[in-house]
Structure 1
Amino acid sequence: MGALEIVLLPCLADNYCVILHEPESGKTAAIDAPSAAAIKAALAERGWRLNELFITHHHTDHTGGIEELKAFYGANVTGPEAEADRIPGLTRAVTEKSALVFAGHPIQVLETPGHTLGHVTYYFPDDGIVFTGDTLFSLGCGKIFEGDPEMMWDSVSKIAALPDKTNIYCGHEYTLNNARFALTIEPENEILKKRAADVEALRAAGKPTLPTTIEFEKATNPFLRPKSRSIQARLGMLGAPASEVFARLRQLKNKA
């Protein structure tokens, strides 16, 4: 089992697809399929063929390229069992009980509902990487379209419980906007201020802000910090349950 090569591929307006390649076997996988054309071009440039697609949830900006990619490469398509009827071309439906392996690399499926009711996250424990789709973003979290705040808090908490050094790849480049909001919630956070400045510089240079890490997000992402007394005080919610503070943060972000 060789180390995975990772390609962070911008797609559409602000989506990311992540391409994984295992050089010893020649196997290639992609996390989500926003754009068949972009993915096919990236694969052709490297001389790779797509074997596996791992889909996090049913929204079309994550599934729009599935059918073309499946037809062109004959790739297997894995996605959440709870959304099997809403994801085109699905060949394997998974839950947290599913045991997955890609080119010798174990994959743990985490059920992370909230953004959608069946959303899943893919964690590669031996590689120290996690693909969070639209559940957890760098300095933010996804909008709650189908679940409720308590459900979403449970989901981001599940991801936050992974080892600190785990690298996070999410589904969108939202970090700059998220940083600006985070600074209104915890302006005294020195690590956050440094991260926000770095993000500004990266985006000004046209560079991605990913990956981030579990450790970094726990120190800077307000949606993982509802137990912070400074955040609770700013919201007038000292001593409130974390899920309620989280819900208020999501409400404020929706209006930002």
Structure 2
Amino acid sequence: MTNPALPAGLSVHAIPAFTDNYIWCLTDEKHAVVVDPGDAQPVLEFCQHHQLSLAAILITHHHPDHIGGIAKLVSANPSIPVIGPRGGHIRGLTKSVTQGDTVHLTVLGCQFAVMEVPGHTLDHIAFYGHGLVFCGDTLFSAGCGRLFEGSAAQMSHSLNKLKRLPEQTLVYCTHEYTLANLAFARTVDPDNLTLEAYTEWANEARKQGIPTLPSTIKTELAINPFLRCQDPAISRAAQQHVNKTLMDETAVFGALRQWKDEF
């Protein structure tokens, strides 16, 4: 998917890792910046194949499948900036950032605003700019991350931050979980024709080995139950599942997240 908001000459590539991770790689003709390199080897191979110099590493949160490649990548070039969430708990970071900070990738001529989006983890951040958001494991296509550290209220607040981004924003999350998420979304929202059509597209894309990502905020607002907790159809489904009245959006989100965990 092309992104006209990126500076001329820049593009984003998916580097597959493990079984379902994508390491997103922002490139120009000579340089690469990677997001959440859980494994160094595919990044090194990608850069070598395309004759690119790794210029920076961005980190959204501390889970091993997002940071595991830092040491090896930095060992090849100790001057590489490694930018991620504050807290001092991620080994190898050279710069910690928080809500409201701006990350300047001077070598690529672009910059990203930092958003704090806790819920999946307490340290989780996202990088937003140039019509795209690198959101790690917070927002997935048709789903969201599990609550390993944060609360339902925190994750609901974080998702509301992301859903307020411009509708054409490209959503670069880190896992190819789309088909499993869609199966759950259709259980919650079986009468959603947009969701049905998107599921058909996603199934065909995966049959051809094509990533379902990036998505867009507009698409997620139409198909993702976790962004639609205020929708009467979603609220009714959640209430029926737990067999009790849920009074607010956070309670609906919490019920949906628990339902998905058990799905």
Matches within 5 A, 1:125-144: 127-144=130-147
Shift of 1:205: 1.6
Shift of 1:105: 1.1
Secondary structure in 1 matching 2:54:
coil
Q: Which amino acid aligns with 1:21?
A: T
Tell me if structure 1 keeps the 8 A contact 2:38–2:65. yes
* Equivalent residue number for residue 114 of structure 2: 109
* Equivalent residue number for residue 249 of structure 1: 256
Q: TM-score, normalised by structure 1?
A: 0.94
5+ residue gaps, structure 1, are none
Matches within 5 A, 1:69-108: 69-74=73-78, 75-82=80-87, 84-85=88-89, 87-102=90-105, 103-108=108-113
* Equivalent residue number for residue 55 of structure 2: 51
Q: Which amino acid aligns with 1:240?
A: M
Aligned equivalents of 1:221, 1:3: Cα separation in 2: 32
Aligned equivalents of 2:246, 2:155: Cα separation in 1: 20
Sequence identity, in percent? 38
* Equivalent residue number for residue 3 of structure 2: none
Secondary structure in 1 matching 2:190:
coil
Tell me if structure 1 keeps the 8 A contact 2:104–2:110. yes
Residues 129-154 of structure 1: CA deviation (Å, up to 9, x unaligned):
10010000000000000010000000
Matches within 5 A, 1:15-54: 15-23=21-29, 26-54=30-58
Question: Which runs of at least 4 in structure 1 moved beyond 4 Å after TM superposition?
Answer: none
Tell me if structure 1 keeps the 8 A contact 2:171–2:215. yes
Q: Which amino acid aligns with 1:186?
A: D
Aligned equivalents of 1:135, 1:112: Cα separation in 2: 7
* Equivalent residue number for residue 191 of structure 1: 194
Tell me if structure 1 keeps the 8 A contact 2:206–2:212. yes
Aligned equivalents of 1:209, 1:73: Cα separation in 2: 33
Residues 158-206 of structure 1: CA deviation (Å, up to 9, x unaligned):
1111000000010100000000000000010010000111111111222
Shift of 1:100: 1.4
* Equivalent residue number for residue 247 of structure 2: 240
Q: Which amino acid aligns with 1:112?
A: V
Secondary structure in 2 matching 1:34:
coil
Q: How many residues align?
A: 250
Which shifted more, 194-203 or 144-153? 194-203
Tell me if structure 2 keeps the 8 A contact 1:51–1:73. no
* Equivalent residue number for residue 118 of structure 1: 123
5+ residue gaps, structure 2, are 1-6
Secondary structure in 2 matching 1:51:
strand
Choose from 159, 171, 177 the match for 2:180.
177
Tell me if structure 1 keeps the 8 A contact 2:132–2:169. yes
Aligned equivalents of 2:10, 2:132: Cα separation in 1: 10
Aligned equivalents of 1:148, 1:3: Cα separation in 2: 40
CA 1:222–1:51: 2 relative to 1, 3 Å: same
Tell me if structure 1 keeps the 8 A contact 2:246–2:252. no
Q: Which amino acid aligns with 1:53?
A: I
